[in-house]
Amino acid sequence: MSRQAAQRVFLSLMLLLVLSGLDQTILSTALPSIIDALHGRDLAPWVFSAYLLASTAVIPLYGKLADRVGTRPLLLWATGVFALGSVACALAGSMTALVAARGLQGVGGGGLMTLAMLSVAHLFPVEERGHRMGLLGAAYGLSTLVGPLVGALLLESLGWRWAFWLNLPGSALALGILARHRV
Residues of the chain below pLDDT 50: none
- Residue 18 sits at the vertex; the CA angle it makes with 132 and 15, to the nearest 5 degrees, is 70
pTM summary value = 0.93
The pLDDT of residue 177? 94
Question: Distance (Å, rounded) from C-alpha 59 to C-alpha 57?
Answer: 6
Q: Are 38 and 95 in contact (CB under 8 A)?
A: yes
Would you state the pLDDT for residue 138? 94
Contact 165, 90 (CB under 8 A): yes
108: closest CA among 161, 51, 175? 51
**Spatial separation of the C-alpha atoms in residues 155 and 81, rounded to whole Å:** 24
pLDDT, position 183 = 67
How many Cα atoms within 13 Å fall on the side-chain side of residue 114? 27
Q: What pLDDT does 54 receive? A: 96
Q: Which of 64, 72, 70, 78 is nearest to 183 (CA)?
A: 72
Q: Measured on CA atoms in the order 25, 28, 29, 34, is the torsion positive or negative?
A: positive
Residues 6+ apart with CB under 8 A from 178: 9, 12, 72, 75, 76, 79
pLDDT of residue 81: 97
